[in-house]
Amino acid sequence: MTSHNRSAADQREQRDTRLNLRVTSAQAELIRRAADSADRTLTDFVVESASVAAQRILADRRWFALDDEAWAEFDALLSRPVVSKPRLSARLNAPDPFVD
């Protein structure tokens, strides 16, 4: 069988570890409805959603190695004086339009 003839299930990595979760009935129903609306299996939906969330969280916690030149440039950018942005300041100090 060639790779382009295999089903999507055959092309996935072999799943060899099980996660067991406890959720409320309401959470289970919400997740099932979302999986159905995305036309995904419950397992695929939960695994992909959790993986995306994990990648986002861990993205800010990675080490970044810089050579001396790149570090000097980065440090210079951080050390620059603050530039006043009156329109941005006004927007940030304006009342929140989404709060009653």
Best-predicted range by mean pLDDT (11-15, 61-65, 77-81): 77-81
Residue 34 within any structural domain of the chain: yes
Residue 59 within any structural domain of the chain: yes
Tell me which DSSP letter residue 39 carries. Answer: T
Residue 73 lies in domain: 21-81
Residue 48 within any structural domain of the chain: yes
Residue 30 within any structural domain of the chain: yes
Mean pLDDT of the chain: 87
Residue 61 within any structural domain of the chain: yes
Q: How many domains does one find in the chain? A: 1
pLDDT greater than 50 at residue 81: yes
Residues near 3 by Cβ (< 8 Å), separated by ≥ 6?
A: 11
Distance CA 53, CA 47 (A): 10
Residues near 41 by Cβ (< 8 Å), separated by ≥ 6?
A: 35
Please write the tens of the pLDDT for every residue from 35-48: 999 999 999 999 99
Residue 5 within any structural domain of the chain: no
Residue 77 within any structural domain of the chain: yes
Residue 35 within any structural domain of the chain: yes
